[in-house]
Structure 1
Amino acid sequence: MSPAVRVAVVGAGISGLAGAHRLRTLLGPAAQITVLEQRDRIGGVLRTVDLAGVPFDVGAEAFLARRPEIPALLAELGLDDVLVHPTGASASIRAAGRTGPLPGATLLGVPTSAARLDALLSAAGLAAVAAEPESPLRWEPGSDVALGRLLRTRFGAELPARLVDPLLGGVYAGRVDALGLRPTVPALAAALDAGAPSLTAAADRATAPPPRVGMERPASREGTTPESGPAATGPGRGPAAGGPVFGAIRGGYGVLLGALARAAGADIRTQTTVRTLERRERGWRLTLGPTTAPEVLDVDAVLLAVPAPAAARLLAATAPAASRAAGEIELASSVVVALAFEPAAAATLPPTSGALIAADEPLAVKGFTHSTNKWAHLAPDGLVRLRASLGRFGEAPTLQVDDAELVARVRADLAMLTGVTADPVAVVVQRWGGGLPQYGVGHLDRVATLEGGLPAGLAVAGSALHGVGVPACVGTAREGAERLVADLTASGTIGTWHASTTPS
């Protein structure tokens, strides 16, 4: 009998655990799957904490429910009953010293012809937006440009500063001038490639309802949403029509992470550093642990589900072109501060789902989520729970203060915006150093070089690739696992990969 196939997954975030689970499904119970995680816990940048007696997410809090990955994964794990959707509370935005409703009918802030921006822009800003459809547009199909520069050229300065930049700050902890159009708003780029005569027309086309059954509409690789992050839809995986846009998990992402870890049946080793990755005549060798007492792990295939800098380091010796591409992906740091208040705070807190905040406002936070307004399951006891987010790309030094100072800044901003001045009954500070990759101009080319430069038996997954949202991470994990199984089959390491095991 031939020995069991051995696969290593580096990283125990959602991408690594979803990849390990998919590998188990495809390879069967005999496969030896080892998950290696440098931290002392699983989950990566997803984390569920206890906030005054209720499980509360201090990483990502929601996902795009119209993408299939998370609902399908929950069903596969027998967790259909934990899927929840937000209340009808609407979002707001703080810009130009005023707080107002977040405008609808936009594509990540890029206005369609139906957008109403009167409460957000000045008369001059509104005139610039109204004039955009009549301004001649020069666009080279397939090109990529800095989103901020393009928007200012077409719409003037107010729209990107007051609307698009705050939205991007919520998705990427990024800035409008540092992010590329094509990876950030791919549907808009696709509409321009197809000949849309203006950005307004492109937004109209990108947000048009799906055609009637029987008519094909190409699906873009990604779609971006302000509260869940970009979401890759991939070939044949477009968002389902209708239904709630966003979802969350009752009990927090920890429920999903734990279920994945159990179903993967892997040897999960935390506090384990992978120092080197070497190609052998057959398979791969990983060097683990401290330099004073290294350990060697030999496997047939490896899935790297780690941040871009770690991937660049591990790929340097065996895939230099891929390593260089990964090394060009920059990261932003952020902080989430979660607070719980006595029920009396509900009398002052606006009945909205939260507020995004423009970067030029004299405030420390970039956004508040009024969690108990947005998610009914987070208010079983009447306490008011909310979270604040701080940190944009390039602002890491402003976060280098102690937790008490961060909480003080959040409370000062909360009091100014909402009038809530009560002492919280519970506080959790979660720092995410380098937690969010930045999708700069040329990002898709870098990713193509990264993925295309990998030898057989090696795959990558994670938020640095095709979207920072949780569904996109799960999608890359599944694709990475399936690539490895195909490679193992082609090399004769395992038998034929039967069609019955392929994804639908």
Structure 2
Amino acid sequence: MNAAHPHRPRVAVIGGGISGLAAAYRLVTGGAEVTVLESETRLGGKLLAGEIAGVPVDLGAEAMLARRPEAVELARAVGLADSLQPPAAAGARVWTRGGLRPLPQGHLMGVPGDLAPLAASGVISEAGLARMARETELPGTELGEDVAIGALVAERFGREVVDRLVEPLLGGVYAGDAYRISMRAAVPALFAAARRHPSLTEAVRAVQAAAPARGGPVFMGIDGGVGRLPLAVAEAVRRAGGEIRTGAPVRALTRLPGGWRLDLGDAYLTADAVVLATPAGAAARLLDTTAPAAAGELAAVEYASMALVTLAFRRSEVAHLLDGSGFLVPPVDGRKIKASTFAANKWGWIASADPDVFVLRTSLGRYGDEADLEREDAELVDLSLKDLGEAVGLAARPLRSRVTRWYGGLPQYPVGHLRRVARIRDAVAALPGLRVCGAHYDGVGIPACIAAAHRAADELLATLAEGTAGEGGE
């Protein structure tokens, strides 16, 4: 225990993104003395609030899944209850086969349970629909421990539904390749149902039938941007007595008898326990000597990079062209942008900040398709404007533009991902007083990151209460 506070264990949290901050808040409110160490000069990781043309915007993630409770509950706990806002507009579309088509209903991440909405949308060709209609006649597929969602859906329904529906939907979450993404990790309920039902159509319907009736919005935003959330959590940690240091990279992590030592370059910090909430590569480097098995697994985690182009226009020049919340773009169509969000339609707080300004975002880059990210900012803006012109007829020039690059922004979840995570956690758990969390474990969404942070914090608090976290030696 810390000599200055004999009844309060000292925990160091390495990483000041939403995962590390959520863990820190859980720990400090659970009675621990907490120090957060962030290598960058700002907090928040992939959550970043900013502005364009005087209008507040998100320059990173813009929404939280509201049907998982963790993110909304944390926002309320740190004083943002009155700032929570659901999307003001729905009506996403898919830009494919030469036009903007309504995103069909009745599917799970693009895997259809009802062909009627899909047929009405025009996303899939007549030949593709006929192929899909025969899925229930196929013999069952043996899934084993895991399978790539794109591979299974292509086998059962044909490639067209993967290329034009599953890919753009999954791409919005992982910036990944549907033919590599683990079904067990990305859509666990569907994977479980598919092991029980010979038909994938039946599996989708079973999941939908078993889902509890839920009211309220699917997603939630925050007035001023989701990027406000980590800053509010950090302030709550400070109010509770925690310490947060930015520009404080941890260079090495060493086991000591009864605890841990963190090398900060110009000083050392000792702690009874540590939460490692960094991206996989940084975690691998810190665990290289203390947990080489975990480090090897972490070093193998792959990431996708992407760029967000935020554009502000005179509303009078563009609003008549832009209805709904935006559109997705299947990679198979060969466009540069992967999606566009009509932010001024989607979020009421953006529209009210300046009624004369219309803000939208585009995204570029995905796993295996990142060459465009090496272009200059002006080129990415021009590529976005070209595609927007073809998609919706937009010809106006923006008042302002901002390009935000997220190199190594999204961890990939290939087949076998959950087994890798289990091996990492098993190796880390063998070291008393150490836990891990972050987007590369149980999900890339904000609620999933917070849930993993709570798990790490709760496990440490339990072992610290038992007086076992710092036991052992080098």
TM-score per shorter chain, which class?
A: over 0.9
AA in 2 matched with 1:167: L
Matches within 5 A, 1:50-129: 50-113=51-114, 115-118=116-119, 119-129=122-132
SS in 2 for 1:384: strand
AA in 1 matched with 2:257: E
SS in 2 for 1:463: coil
- Which residue in 1 is equivalent to 2:415? 441
- Which residue in 2 is equivalent to 1:366? 338
Counterpart Cα distance in 2 of 1:115 and 1:303: 48
Contact kept? 1:103, 1:115, Cα under 8 Å:
no
Residue of structure 1 aligned with 2:384, choices 398, 410, 428? 410
Counterpart Cα distance in 2 of 1:272 and 1:394: 32
Residue of structure 1 aligned with 2:312, choices 323, 340, 344? 340
Q: Please report how far the alpha carbon of residue 492 of structure 1 lies from its aligned counterpart in structure 2 after TM superposition.
A: 5.4
Once the two structures are overlaid, the 10-residue window that deviates more, 14-23 or 420-429, is 420-429
- Which residue in 2 is equivalent to 1:489? 465
1:157 maps to 2:126: no
SS in 2 for 1:464: coil
- Which residue in 1 is equivalent to 2:262? 286
Aligned-pair Cα RMSD in Å: 1.7
- Which residue in 2 is equivalent to 1:305? 277
**Structure 2: runs of 5+ lacking an equivalent:** none
Q: Please report how far the alpha carbon of residue 320 of structure 1 lies from its aligned counterpart in structure 2 after TM superposition.
A: 1.9
Cα shift readout 1:189-211 (whole Å, capped 9, x = no counterpart): 11023x11211111111122546
- Which residue in 2 is equivalent to 1:171? 173
Contact kept? 1:9, 1:34, Cα under 8 Å:
yes
- Which residue in 1 is equivalent to 2:215? 242
Number of residue equivalences: 457
Residue of structure 1 aligned with 2:25, choices 21, 24, 36? 21
SS in 1 for 2:337: coil
- Which residue in 2 is equivalent to 1:432? 406
Counterpart Cα distance in 1 of 2:363 and 2:382: 13
Give the structure with the larger helix fraction: 2
- Which residue in 2 is equivalent to 1:139? 142
Q: TM-score, normalised by structure 2?
A: 0.93
Counterpart Cα distance in 2 of 1:254 and 1:359: 28
SS in 1 for 2:307: strand
SS in 1 for 2:209: coil
Contact kept? 1:179, 1:441, Cα under 8 Å:
yes
SS in 2 for 1:244: coil
- Which residue in 2 is equivalent to 1:262? 235
Counterpart Cα distance in 2 of 1:3 and 1:150: 54
1:465 maps to 2:441: yes
Counterpart Cα distance in 2 of 1:210 and 1:97: 35
Contact kept? 1:8, 1:33, Cα under 8 Å:
yes
AA in 2 matched with 1:330: E
Contact kept? 2:89, 2:347, Cα under 8 Å:
no
AA in 2 matched with 1:6: R
- Which residue in 2 is equivalent to 1:206? 207
Cα shift readout 1:295-321 (whole Å, capped 9, x = no counterpart): 221111111111111111111211222
Cα shift readout 1:425-475 (whole Å, capped 9, x = no counterpart): 121111000000000000000111111211221111111011100011111
Q: Please report how far the alpha carbon of residue 19 of structure 1 lies from its aligned counterpart in structure 2 after TM superposition.
A: 0.8
Q: Please report how far the alpha carbon of residue 377 of structure 1 lies from its aligned counterpart in structure 2 after TM superposition.
A: 1.6
- Which residue in 1 is equivalent to 2:451? 475
Counterpart Cα distance in 2 of 1:115 and 1:314: 52
- Which residue in 1 is equivalent to 2:323? 351
SS in 1 for 2:331: coil
Q: Please report how far the alpha carbon of residue 122 of structure 1 lies from its aligned counterpart in structure 2 after TM superposition.
A: 1.1
Contact kept? 2:339, 2:363, Cα under 8 Å:
yes
Contact kept? 1:89, 1:351, Cα under 8 Å:
no
1:185 maps to 2:155: no
- Which residue in 2 is equivalent to 1:214? none
Contact kept? 2:314, 2:358, Cα under 8 Å:
yes
Contact kept? 1:187, 1:206, Cα under 8 Å:
yes
Q: Please report how far the alpha carbon of residue 412 of structure 1 lies from its aligned counterpart in structure 2 after TM superposition.
A: 1.2
- Which residue in 2 is equivalent to 1:498? none
- Which residue in 2 is equivalent to 1:319? 291
Q: Please report how far the alpha carbon of residue 88 of structure 1 lies from its aligned counterpart in structure 2 after TM superposition.
A: 3.8
**Structure 1: runs of 5+ lacking an equivalent:** 212-239, 495-504
Cα shift readout 1:118-149 (whole Å, capped 9, x = no counterpart): 21111110011111011111224x52112222
Q: Identity, % of aligned pairs?
A: 47
- Which residue in 2 is equivalent to 1:230? none
SS in 1 for 2:274: strand
Q: Please report how far the alpha carbon of residue 334 of structure 1 lies from its aligned counterpart in structure 2 after TM superposition.
A: 0.5
